[in-house]
Amino acid sequence: MDKASFTGIVAGLALIVISILLGGDLMSFFNAPGLMIVVGGTLAAILINFQFEDVKAAFKAAALVFKSQKLDPNELIATMVELCTVSRRQGLVALSKMQIEDRFLKKACGLISDGAKEDVIRDALNIEIESMKQRHAIQQDVFVKMAAFAPAFGMIGTLIGLVQMLQNLSDPSSVGPSMAVALLTTFYGSFFAFMICTPIAGKLKSRTGSEVMNLEIMFEGAASIVQENNPMIVYEKLSSYIPLSSRRAMAETKR
């Protein structure tokens, strides 16, 4: 589990709930019509704005916010150094016999073992990286748009509540519920936008950056194997992607 995301969501919710309890009753901040306006309206607008499959993929990707990163760049560099060592000792064809789980790396090794030229390998892997960036950008944009729509629907709820209140000023008992809808929908819109949607979009963008870096390590590693076929050169090139404080020495990457 990603500790930063978990800590952030728990701390944010806890502080908001505690501040509400210190000033009154928590249930006074629950209003079903307001939630229907903000959440329902935002989801409806998102479905109009995006393809259904894109929305579905975005919500699946949101689960990654609370999961830890699978690939450590240092481990990835160690893998590329190992592949380089194998190809140097047994030939490039030996890469096709390696047990590799990552689909991108498996494709890279397949191209190398098939004797593809460097420019062909670069073009093929570049297309993969750019396609992944585009898919992830759409998923991030879903939550960016939700963060923009939610306050707008909160304002719509506020206007609805004010209209209902003005129409029933002669009935004092209706003023309270109408004002609740008017004020709480603004609260719901802001909470939904800035506590949920915007942080998710930001974390997905950060995850995309990390994933792109890992793909680029594999990309450059594959190109380096074709160019030099020297483990030390491969290590020196790929280690540049990692900050000095986090890098492992060449000896530590050997398995």
pLDDT of residue 191: 94
pLDDT band at 139 (very low <50, low <70, confident <90, very high): very high
Predicted local confidence at residue 91, as pLDDT: 85
The CA-CA-CA angle for residues 82, 86, 89, to 5°, reads 135
Question: Which of 147, 145, 4, 136 shows the shortest CA–CA distance to 66?
Answer: 4
| Nearest-10 crossing angle of helices 198-227, 52-62 | 90
pLDDT in tens, 120-137: 888 999 999 999 999 999
Query: Mind spelling out the 3-state secondary structure of 66-133?
Result: HCCCCCCHHHHHHHHHHHHHHHHHHCHHHHHHCCCCCHHHHHHHHHHHCCCCHHHHHHHHHHHHHHHH
Output the six-digit token pair for 100: 């590799």
pLDDT of residue 254: 54
Question: Given this model, what pLDDT does residue 69 score?
Answer: 66
State pLDDT tens for residues 25-65.
888 888 888 899 999 999 999 999 999 999 999 999 988 78
Give 192-247 pLDDT, tens digit per residue.
999 999 999 999 998 899 899 999 999 988 888 888 778 888 888 899 888 888 88
Kindly report the pTM of this predicted structure. Answer: 0.84
pLDDT band at 119 (very low <50, low <70, confident <90, very high): confident
Confidence category of residue 175, pLDDT binned at 50, 70, 90: confident
Mean pLDDT of 151-165: 89
pLDDT at 183 over 90: no
62, 69, 86 from 204: Cα distances, Å: 7, 12, 35
* pLDDT on residue 42: 96
Start-to-end CA distance of the chain, whole Å, equals: 27
**Which DSSP helix (H) or strand (E) runs through 184?**
helix 172-191
CA 227 to CA 216: how far, in whole Å? 16
Averaging pLDDT over each range in 53-62, 85-94, 105-114, 164-173, which range is the top one?
53-62
Measured between alpha carbons, how far is 241 from 70 in angstroms, rounded to an integer? 17
